[in-house]
Structures are given as structure tokens and as C-alpha cells.
Amino acid sequence: AGHLPVTATSFPGFALMVESVNMAYMMELPMLIVLVQRMGPSTGTATAGAQGDLLLLHGVISGGYPLPVLCVADLEDCWRLPPVALRLAVEARTPVVLLTSKEMVMTQRSFDLGRLEPVEPVERTFYEGPAPYRPYAADDSLVPPFLPVGNDAHQVRLTASTHDTHGILRHATGEALGNTLRLPRKVEAHTPVLYELDEQEDAETLVVAYGITAGAAREAVAALRARGTPVSLLIARTLLPVPPVYYALLDRYRRVVIAEENLQGQFVRLLFGHRLPEKVRPVTGIGRMVPPDRIVQEVEAK
């Protein structure tokens, strides 16, 4: 008992995990799910990638509560981000999704292991106070102290139903509702804001990308700058909850081009809903990765 579950899957497997992810969210049990996106719907095309699961993750927790979602943007991130996601899961006692895609996980590259950042073990702390142990009594960190079921010191109650700080089922008492309302505040407080910003002086256009499309965005920005077109670049690594700083960055620019490999422009919809500001231009598509020239064309379009 008390071991940290880590797994990797794609949409068909994740669909079967939705109930368990919700249970873990309400029970405040840490876990990490590496979600490898591929083209849907359903089993879709197992050999074609996509970035199509973001809106699913946005609403996967019943009631609309935020689930932390981090996203790798290059192969170096495949080394750097898993420890960050694991630490978040443990320290915030929550499920965390690390988002990637079929192309990313099937790409091979050699690394000099001696030049990679060292990975520190994620330390877990356990409740050592007196009885009674209250499994959902959080301090100012908004995270309650953890003990695994079956320990020799204290009784542990865990439940996925609405509960008080003792883990006892309650209908809608102030304590129980306060415990439920603490969950989104906890996630928002502990989820790190991770992004890469490459701003160019005098740029009026910002290119935004995440995941596998970040590579195409970097190439497009380099090509535009080589032509004398000033342009800035934002690579988002924290996708959910959406960091407010993204809006502050987008507000600086006259035009914003957001590239992603899906049909609807899912990150665009997360940011702006279904009514986009005139200055926002999505670059989307399915069946193949978004090429740099499509991003270049949209930046140069009048």
C-alpha cells in the first residue's frame, strides 16, 4: 500500500480509466498518467498522431474540476518533465496527466547521459502526528497529510464520495463542501507554470504551440526571422489549469497564430471559447503533423 502508480496509455485505455481518475481525484491519491495522443475518434488510427485529447482532459473530472496537465514539447522534455509531473502528483496528492503524442514517443534520438539534468527522487512524507489521524485535514498548503491504508499507526478512511476531514461520508455539510471546494484551489496553487517564451523586439505577431507542433513552430519562426519578419514564440508546457500569464502574454500582440494538430483548435477553444478575437488565427489539421510552411503562411497572411 502507498506505492505511486504510473502508467502510459492512449485514448482507448484512458477512456477506461476515467472512473478511476475521478476516484483518485476525490480521494486525493497521487498518480501519473502519460497520455500518448493519436488520431481519433475511438481507436482511430493507431499509427497517426494527433493533439486531440485536450478538451477531453479539460472536462474529464465530474463537475468541471481542474486536472493538472503538463505537455512535453521536445525530446529533452521527455527527460525533464516526468519528474516534475511526479513531484506535483505527490506534493499535491492528485492525479496528473503528462501529455505527448504518437510521433514523440516513436522518435529515437541519442543523448549524452552525462549532460542531462540529474533526476532527484521524489520524496514522500507521511503523517507522524498523534491520533486521531484526519486524512483530509489540510493545512495552509491545501494538501492533507498522507498515510497509506494498512499502516500500523492509524486508521485511514478514503472515499470518493463527499466527505468531511475524517473521511466520513457527508451529504452537504459546510465542512464537507469546504473540503470539496478546496480541491480546485489546491490544484491551481500547486501546478507549476511552465512555458518557453522567445520574444523578438518590434514583433507584432506571436506564434503559440505546444507538444509535437512546437518543433514546426520553432522552424517557422526561424524562417520568418530569416526573411526579416519580426515574430515572437510561446511554447506552452502547462496546459491545464490554463495559467493566467498566457493571457497577459497574448495581450501584448496585435496578431496571435496558434498551431495544433487537431480539427477544432482545442487549445484555442480553451483560451477563448467558441468566439475568437479577430486577432487570433488557428492553424489546425488532422492526419499529418502541422508543417512549418502553414504557420509561415498564416503569419504572412493579411
The verdict on 183 and 220 lying in the same domain is: no
Q: Total domain count for the chain?
A: 2
CA distance 158 to 175: 16
The verdict on 171 and 247 lying in the same domain is: no
Grid cell 492509524 in the structure block, residue: 154
Domain final position from 192, 221, 252: 192
CA distance 31 to 151: 20
State residue 90's pLDDT score: 96
Question: What is the domain-level CATH number for residue 50?
Answer: 3.40.50.970
The verdict on 188 and 213 lying in the same domain is: no
State residue 1's pLDDT score: 57
Instruction: Please count the other Cβ atoms lying within 10 Å of the Cβ belonging to residue 237.
Output: 23
Residue 259: enclosing H or E segment and its boundaries? strand 255-259
The verdict on 16 and 112 lying in the same domain is: yes
The verdict on 156 and 236 lying in the same domain is: no
State residue 149's pLDDT score: 87
Range of the domain at 248: 195-300
The verdict on 131 and 199 lying in the same domain is: no
Domain final position from 151, 175, 192: 192
Residue 57: enclosing H or E segment and its boundaries? helix 54-58
Domain final position from 192, 224, 255: 192
The verdict on 48 and 143 lying in the same domain is: yes
State residue 150's pLDDT score: 84
State residue 251's pLDDT score: 97
Question: What is the domain-level CATH number for residue 242?
Answer: 3.40.50.920
The verdict on 183 and 246 lying in the same domain is: no
State residue 2's pLDDT score: 61
Which of 200, 281, 271 is CA-nearest to residue 233?
200
The verdict on 43 and 101 lying in the same domain is: yes
State residue 145's pLDDT score: 94
CA angle 292, 296, 297 (to 5 degrees): 115
The verdict on 140 and 126 lying in the same domain is: yes
* Cell of residue 72, nine digits: 512535453
Low-confidence ranges of the chain (pLDDT < 50): none
The verdict on 159 and 239 lying in the same domain is: no
The verdict on 211 and 118 lying in the same domain is: no
* Cell of residue 111, nine digits: 543523448
Supply the pTM of this predicted model.
Answer: 0.95
